[in-house]
Amino acid sequence: MIKEMAALLQERGVYLHEIAQIVYDLQKGYVPDLTLEYCVEVVTGVLSKREVQFALLTGAALDVLAEEKKLPSPLQEIIQKDHLLYGIDEVLGLGIANIYGTIGTTSFGYLDKEKIGVIGKLNFNKINKVNTFMDDLVAGIASAAAAKIAHNAGCLCCENADKGL
Ligand code: MG
């Protein structure tokens, strides 16, 4: 199923290493020996989870259907124009971001605002393209991967707590 997920992302103009780059940028300040290869591995792990796959399938399908003008009105216009008050794309992305705990929520908020890397590219590419869901799905996957890395690496305050400091 991971191959299918990678292919689906690629069809929508997103490569796994681009998501991994966002994860790397989010976590490099906290995990000194972090590598891009490890980030790719963690992103792949996130994509192996069924709830992530279901969210990705749902959001990508809605983007494609909107591109093909096959959605019922007014949903067609809302998704096609990425209506400012339509927050269901963010809800789907947040659903992914939260799979490894609330650390993912913070990263998702940051990515939603700053739109770094491929997220910015998706958000900018709107000529004959609908990426209303895809930018949030990518932000969700990157945020979940960043949260997983943060949990695996632990943190100084937890280590100090373990030592009774
Ligand atoms: Mg969006």
Q: How far is CA 25 from the centre of its chain?
A: 14
Domains, the chain, with CATH or none: 2-10+18-152 (1.10.3760.10)
Q: What is the pLDDT along the chain (165 residues), one digit of tens a residue?
A: 889 999 999 999 999 999 999 999 999 999 989 999 999 999 999 999 999 999 999 999 999 999 999 999 999 999 999 999 999 999 999 999 999 988 899 999 999 999 999 999 888 767 779 999 999 999 999 999 999 999 888 755 555 545 554
pTM of the model as a whole: 0.91
Distance 32 CA to ligand 1 centre (A): 31
Distance 103 CA to ligand 1 centre (A): 20
CA pair distance 136, 7, nearest whole angstrom: 18
Distance 13 CA to ligand 1 centre (A): 15
Element (H, E) at 117: none
